[in-house]
Each structure stands twice: as C-alpha cells, then as structure tokens.
C-alpha cells in the first residue's frame, strides 16, 4: 500500500469510521516499484517480511515471466498504458455483502465487444452516442447496474 501512496491511487471504504475496503490502482504510465521513492519507502518493508527464498524467486523468476506474459496477453505496452488494480483488500466480516445496496454502478464503453461483456455482467445500456475526432469517429455507450440487482 505504501507503493500505491507514492506512485498510485489508494481508495478506502469505511463503515462507522473503520476502514473495511482498500484498493490500490496504478494509472497509465505507472506501475508498482517503478520509482526510487517506491523502492526506498515501500520495498524494504516487503523485503523484511518476505522469506529470502521467495524474494529470490519473485525477482529472478516471477517478475520477468509476469512482464513477458503481460506483453503476450495484452499486447506490447498495453499494461503500462492502462489502469492496473494492484491490491483489493476487504475486511473478512464484509466479504460477499452488498455494502452499497441501492446505489448504481456506472461505466462507459467505447467498443461493442466490451458492451457485450458488461451486459453479461448485468449492466444495461442507458445510451449510445458517437464522437468525431481528428482521425475519425468512435462510439460510446453509457451503461449502468443497480447494486441491489446483483
């Protein structure tokens, strides 16, 4: 989480003043441990609690394979150009509970194949439009889902 505070975005949800959910996102152009500040402030804490054998595997085996896999699975540079959810932590007492019942989730999609995916997840198309840019036009759909329908 410290790396997220240094180079990402950290969001929390709370109930009666107690944090029950924490998420850490890294936005386009950023990733975990990509800066000296993250390496200086966050990595030593991890390195102190992770067993040396696992640290060696993490640095020598996992990270290079993960980077290669990301390029193959998503395309060259796509992961770095995208938002990446690094951490999602929920207090076990609140797992599988609707915390915001009655609220509405909203999103935008700019490709028809994404609309189909979101519809399978229960989202409904609320509207569709087209934008014209300097190199052509593109569609955009506004979609929503009531949480009490999940």
Higher pLDDT, 123 or 1: 123
> Contact at 8 Å (CB) between 85 and 11?
no
In this prediction, residues 7-14 reach a mean pLDDT of 93
Return the pLDDT at 150: 44
- Dump strand ranges (E) for 7-150: 9-15, 18-26, 84-90, 104-109, 124-133, 136-146
- Rounded CA-CA distance 61/32 in Å is 17
Q: Is the pLDDT of residue 102 over 80?
A: no
Return the pLDDT at 145: 87
In this prediction, residues 21-28 reach a mean pLDDT of 92
Q: Which residues of 107-133 are buried (b: 16+ CB within 10 A; e: fewer)?
A: eebeeeeebeebeeeebeeeeeeeeee
Q: Is the pLDDT of residue 26 over 90?
A: yes
Which letter does DSSP use for residue 28 in this model? T
């Amino acid at each position: 989480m410290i790396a997220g505070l240094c180079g990402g975005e950290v969001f929390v949800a709370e109930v009666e003043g107690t944090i029950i959910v924490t998420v850490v996102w890294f936005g386009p152009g950023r990733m975990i441990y990509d800066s000296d500040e993250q390496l200086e402030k966050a990595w030593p804490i991890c390195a102190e609690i992770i067993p040396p054998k696992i640290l060696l595997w993490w640095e020598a085996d996992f990270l290079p394979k993960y980077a290669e896999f990301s390029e193959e699975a998503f395309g060259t540079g796509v992961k770095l150009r995208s938002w990446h959810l690094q951490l999602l932590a929920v207090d076990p007492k609140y797992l599988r509970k609707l915390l915001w019942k009655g609220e509405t989730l909203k999103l935008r999609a700019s490709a028809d194949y994404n609309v189909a995916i979101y519809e399978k997840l229960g989202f409904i198309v609320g509207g569709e439009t087209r934008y014209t840019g300097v190199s052509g036009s593109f569609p955009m759909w506004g979609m929503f889902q009531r949480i009490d329908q999940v």
